[in-house]
Structure 1
């Protein structure tokens, strides 16, 4: 029988609801015992919404010996300091993406947890969506054969009011734009499916549509060691917004992941067209992937294994983002 973990929440912003719903369904394995935000209004709203206890001091989460897991949902630039304190206190950390605001700070976070001997997981929940899991299994079975072409498109729209929140779209708060904030989930899915490319070339720009200093338009190409060539088309200026899409083509056929749906066509006549399991209430609430991710993280703690979205594995997407930014600046291909 698995142990029941005591969870502390750090940060009570827009990401918290799905985590709370997921943890409630995992009540036989975990319970939220304390939640902290530096903002009194958010603490009050959290208690009113979920009936869970909050604390006014971060120390009451980190220094509580009964809490063994801390779920960090605070802004990127705060992650290093919070994770460092958690790791020194011997607490395992499940960290909202991105790991940190820069590549160097992200790597430092991973190393902090490794040196402290605590587990670090990153909230890349799209790895746990049913269509992605099915495609990942097909890839392990080499269903597409040797891949020749990969394409990732995240063509979303973010209206002016989205950027009205103080700091939104600014490096000082978010660390990056469309890559770090929006497309990072789909980029991580691509890394999970085909791994980190050998070389990338990128063009990165900030459109004149909003007063931000981070990128909102990215065009990139990538070359993998085995000869696979891929493209990345990432933006938040594509009105009215379109489903994110990953397409992989190989010697045996083509697979497409598009907003929670997997479609597959093989030369032998096999056709697959599957979505999420609509009968699961967690799908209706859109937190099934969070539930699976948290369960996987708890299992890693209990068994001594590594979580599927570990800090080490999640560094791949950070290295990809960094290489695309460097390539845009240098005008040359760069190695992630």
Structure 2
């Protein structure tokens, strides 16, 4: 299958490497708002894939081409113009998180693709780690028992230079700060285990460590629809940065997922560790992670298109984490607990 890459920012080369290693998928072409940047990018990645990818002149040219799907890596504020054109052309879309800057805008994109019958999947690559899948299996078989309490931590660090990039950490381009740009991955993964959050009480702030518009520190208490309770701490002001983690305290034991490893502490005191540790981009270098998880996302999407089966994460499913982020922000602004809107 042929894929086209739209948006050539920080994560684009990760997708190039993932496409090179993927089975049954190739990079057919690239598109950027800046033609010169696109040509330079194509030349730079040619040694990775063994050839210079085609540089599309504009979006209509890509939409009219024979590419099988598009991988959308633009900032979220650029999606409103691109997605309709791809949907009209019947091009399936694999989109980097978030879907859009707000839950309402994200919902409009999802509904547009659904109405056009165009598959839309979101790149939540943390779901593809083996340890993440091992934890899902343990929960589905009931070995850990029901979840009683949840601890979610994203103690990341970003230098000020990261936020000096035009628009980064603003509501106009990104839709917010640490929640929608960094913690969204961990929150999405946590929701696959816990089910929905019903109610939150939160505080979101910008610390003196960053000059930026949106939040770089969040703490929240979570009431889950299942009856479990939980806590969230998310930050890009936690120097030097550490791995994000999800800890589930269940009736038969506790499970801690961090750095690609799953540590199990059973009720009888025995412990076991599954998976291999790996970088996740929590420190000063946001790209310090393997492209293998992106490869798995791409292969999953290509297989879903080829075999007409469900993808790992649909746009509709991604709205759950958008709704939670929206509730956390509303709770902080109001200074009280709020319900998470379905």
TM-score range, shorter chain: over 0.9
Instruction: Report the 3-state secondary structure (helix = DSSP H, G, I; strand = E; otherwise coil) of the residue aligned with 1:187.
Output: helix
Instruction: Report the 3-state secondary structure (helix = DSSP H, G, I; strand = E; otherwise coil) of the residue aligned with 1:264.
Output: strand
Residue 18 (structure 1) aligns with: 14
CA–CA separation in structure 1 for the residues paired with 2:264 and 2:271: 5
Unmatched runs of 5 consecutive residues or more in structure 1: 279-283
Residue 150 (structure 1) aligns with: 150
Residue 49 (structure 1) aligns with: 44
TM-score by length of 1: 0.92
Asked whether the 8 Å contact 1:13–1:42 carries over to 2, the reply is no
Write out per-residue CA displacement over residues 108-151 of structure 1, whole angstroms, 9 at most, x where no aligned residue.
11101111111100011011011111111111112210111101
Larger deviation: 136-145 or 103-112? Answer: 136-145
Matches within 5 A, 1:268-279: 268=268, 270-276=270-276
Asked whether the 8 Å contact 2:139–2:193 carries over to 1, the reply is yes
CA–CA separation in structure 2 for the residues paired with 1:335 and 1:297: 33
Residue 62 (structure 1) aligns with: 63
TM-score by length of 2: 0.91
CA–CA separation in structure 1 for the residues paired with 2:277 and 2:170: 37
Give the aligned length.
325
CA–CA separation in structure 2 for the residues paired with 1:270 and 1:111: 47
Residue 252 (structure 2) aligns with: 252
Residue 40 (structure 1) aligns with: 35
Residue 337 (structure 2) aligns with: 333
CA RMSD, Structure 1 to Structure 2 (Å):
1.7
Write out per-residue CA displacement over residues 20-54 of structure 1, whole angstroms, 9 at most, x where no aligned residue.
11212225x22222210112342133222222221
Unmatched runs of 5 consecutive residues or more in structure 2: 47-52, 279-287
- Structure 1 residues 185 and 285: CA distance shift in structure 2, 3 A: closer
Larger deviation: 217-226 or 32-41? Answer: 32-41
Asked whether the 8 Å contact 2:260–2:276 carries over to 1, the reply is yes
Deviation (angstroms), 1:285:
7.3
Deviation (angstroms), 1:270:
4.9
CA–CA separation in structure 2 for the residues paired with 1:286 and 1:193: 23
Residue 313 (structure 2) aligns with: 309
Larger deviation: 197-206 or 98-107? Answer: 197-206
Asked whether the 8 Å contact 1:148–1:229 carries over to 2, the reply is yes
Deviation (angstroms), 1:268:
4.5
CA–CA separation in structure 1 for the residues paired with 2:36 and 2:228: 50
Asked whether the 8 Å contact 2:3–2:28 carries over to 1, the reply is yes
Residue 239 (structure 1) aligns with: 239
Moved over 4 A (4+): none
